[in-house]
Amino acid sequence: MALALALLSAAVPAGAQIDEAASERLMRSSGLWEQLGATAAGARAGIEAAASNRLTPLSAEEVQRLLRATDAAFAAETLRPSVRRALAARVLPGQLEALETWLGGELGRRITAIEVAASRPDRDSERAIRAGIVRLREASEARRRLIENLVESTRSAEAITNMTINVAVAVQRGMASVKPDGPPAPVATLREAFAAQRAQMQQAYRGMSQALFAEMYQALPDADLASYQDFLRSAAGQQFLDATIQAMEQALVEAAERLGTRLPGVRPGSNT
């Protein structure tokens, strides 16, 4: 765990970062602030699904204890400061003006509103995927190419894979802490097991993302999607994406750690 955090917190030159006020502005204007509010719901869903498929069933009280710990570990009020600090350390000051210009512009605000609405916990993602598959099938070649390029430029499949692995590790640790089926596996071992599946997971999430994007951006004309693509491919857009993915990864690793330490029975040193 210490090594992972060290790698994620790679040193940056002194002064080569923005302050946390600017970081929070970027989080709010990009929709990341609100989207972090849905993270606990995703982790909770993972816990509930795992609890119903265990070899050793959990009691209702054990499930509730695990869910309370999950809600606390992945709470938005905990994740937001963590991401804000990590983002401040990674966004280059020289890119701030370009980022705020795009995110504060009419199209940038419109796209953020679309993305925030699509990230609501109560959204029926399965229905959105089915609808998106139909839209892709009926779309022009140019439109399909735009959607495919947006999925690649946003690194959506990579981001979803990272989140899935971190939540899955947290779920596995949480379940083992409440009622282990056997000796708890170290976090490093769990991550290695998921790492072996990373390429396959990203491929699956790439196709899923294309369907979701087709549905999510249905109201945007091709010209607007092309403008969004230009921003994402710009130096500022690419640097912000890198910073956001790294900041999210660090925050989720920390959340998984918190989940383990919030549950009785977790021994110090069992997380590495």
Q: Can you tell me which residue has the tokens 């003006």?
A: 97
Lowest mean pLDDT among 35-39, 113-117, 143-147, 190-194: 190-194
Report d(CA 253, CA 166) in Å as an integer. 6
What are the pLDDT digits (tens) for 162-206? 888 877 777 777 766 665 555 555 666 777 777 788 888 899 999
Report d(CA 63, CA 3) in Å as an integer. 31
Lowest mean pLDDT among 74-83, 99-108, 170-179: 170-179
Report d(CA 93, CA 62) in Å as an integer. 47
pTM exceeds 0.85 for this model? no
What is the distance, to the nearest Å, from the Cα of residue 185 to the centroid of all Cα atoms in its chain? 24
